[in-house]
A and B are shown apart, each in its own frame.
Chain A
Amino acid sequence: MGVEARAPKVDEPVPVQIRGGMVTSIILRIRDPKSQKVYTMLADRIAQAPNFFRHAPVVLDLQDLADAPPFNIAELGRRLRQHSLVPIGVQNGTEEQNLAAVNAGFSLVGAGAAGSAMPLEGRRERANTTAEDVEADTPSHASTKVITRPVRSGQQSYARGGDLIVLGLTSAGAELIADGNIHVYGALRGRAIAGACGDAGARIFCRSLEADLVSIAGNWQVRDDMPDGLIGKPAQISLKDEKLIIEPLP
């Protein structure tokens, strides 16, 4: 029999629901913000896969511009919007660049949170292959990521578009993120975030449940709210009617 996760009693509909989530975005690694070629290249790519790019969230990666002369980031954002892209944030900027970005209405995105940057050229294959059904957010053939060493405190592992399998333990302070399921064959001590792109069918499995936080499709629960009887036991976590179900492994 499953143990239902504790959830606050709601008598009337609440006006707002707050959830965590991961957003898949396009990352533009800008090498020369003043070059007109930025926009001609973009227009070219967008023409190849207009559905993929239309109103797509864009993160500007400034890692190549640490020593570049100052440029107008607000103007850059305006030009991108003209191409029907939606710039949402910057990453890897210098302090001044970050300040300018925040003033221009950008958010600051952690490099780890947004995944690794891909140069504009590298986007071509992806844009072409996913152009048909970008509306369906989950890729059809997901890749599985297998980690054979312990995931340590402060480390983060993200299985983009697939399952994450950890053979060893996951330390407190570590973070496992998968768009699919998460399997941990040792103790699960850090955070486990499955269905990071919104897959409500994703599950978390572990040999010993000692997690600080578990989350499926943005529905999360912290350690203090987990059923005591299952701490330290083999467990699986799934989502039913937007409630996390934590139950022992059969």
Chain B
Amino acid sequence: MSKVVVMTSGKGGVGKTTTAAAFGTGLALRGHKTVVIDFDVGLRNLDLIMGCERRVVFDFINVINGEARLSQALIKDKRNENLWILPTSQTRDKDALTKEGVEKVLNELRDQFDYIVCDSPAGIEKGAIMALYFADEAVIVTNPEVSSVRDSDRIIGVLQSRSRRAEKGMEPVKEHLLIARHDAERVKRGEMLKVEDVLEILAIPLLGIIPESQSVLKASNVGMPVIMDEGSPAGRAYMDAVGRFLGETIEHRFAGQARRGLFQRLLWRTA
């Protein structure tokens, strides 16, 4: 059964595209045939992060408009045979996305792939709604600070009311929380929210905590998803998150925290 997974957040700059690239690559590394779609029409970034920007000829919008076949627009990753990228257009805007067009492309992708990862644009407008509308599962990417958490709360509400599953009264979209850019030192100094606080506000299951790391920026600059950097804490954290997403029990690691507190033990038990 093919699954559509949306990476969404409400707020911009929290790490959606980084997460989509890492997550898609992680699923592919685990042997699942995966495609990552860029829904951020007009602000094309996914192909940069995934290092295939020079191979884009046709894009998602061309396929929606019937100007190209899906097979012409799909880009095969050079490093991983299970991974494909469907880039978006840089010259168009979000109005180029139509429910019917997106549905047609997703249905075609469902026949070929195990996982369809949708990289959502920021906001709660058309682009974001299109990215989440057909989702079966959602990874809510949030940073441990108040405005990001507030926006994530909002987008969870949108998922619960405006997704196809909500509109059709089907089983709700399964929600996962991914806390990105977590800096243990800044949390200690009180400059960032504690993981407990974020969980208390959002009240959805925690998929993983990605530590703030130089390796993320470095990986983006060379067009290699950070999950492939096995030596970096962020890469390992993404790999763990993918494992949990696939149903494995993996302990949450908190970067920079040696002692395992009561809270972590609780998480370990329920993860």
Interface residues of A (CB under 8 A from B): 149-150, 152-155, 168-169, 171-174, 187, 189
Contact = CB atoms under 8 A, between A and B. Distances in A.
Contacts of B151: 153
Contacts of A150: 203
Contacts of B183: none
Interface SS majority for chain B:
helix
A187 B203 CA distance: 11
Contacts of B154: 152-154, 173
Nearest to A152: B157
22 contacts: A149-B160, A150-B203, A152-B153, A152-B154, A152-B157, A152-B160, A153-B150, A153-B153, A153-B157, A154-B124, A154-B157, A154-B158, A155-B157, A155-B161, A169-B201, A171-B150, A172-B150, A173-B150, A173-B153, A173-B154, A174-B157, A187-B200
Name the interface size band of chain B. 10 to 19
Contacts of B226: none
A125 to B, nearest CB: 25
Interface of B: 124, 150-151, 153-154, 156-158, 160-161, 200-201, 203
A143 B151 CA distance: 32
A157 to B, nearest CB: 11
Contacts, number: 34
Contacts of B124: 154
Contacts of B157: 152-155, 174
Contacts of B201: 169, 171-172, 189
A149 B161 CA distance: 12
Contacts of A168: 203
The 7 closest A-B pairs by CB, nearest first: A152-B157, A153-B153, A153-B154, A154-B154, A155-B157, A171-B153, A152-B153
A189 B156 CA distance: 16
Nearest to A173: B150
Nearest to B204: A150
A199 to B, nearest CB: 28
Contacts of A152: 153-154, 156-157, 160
B174 to A, nearest CB: 14
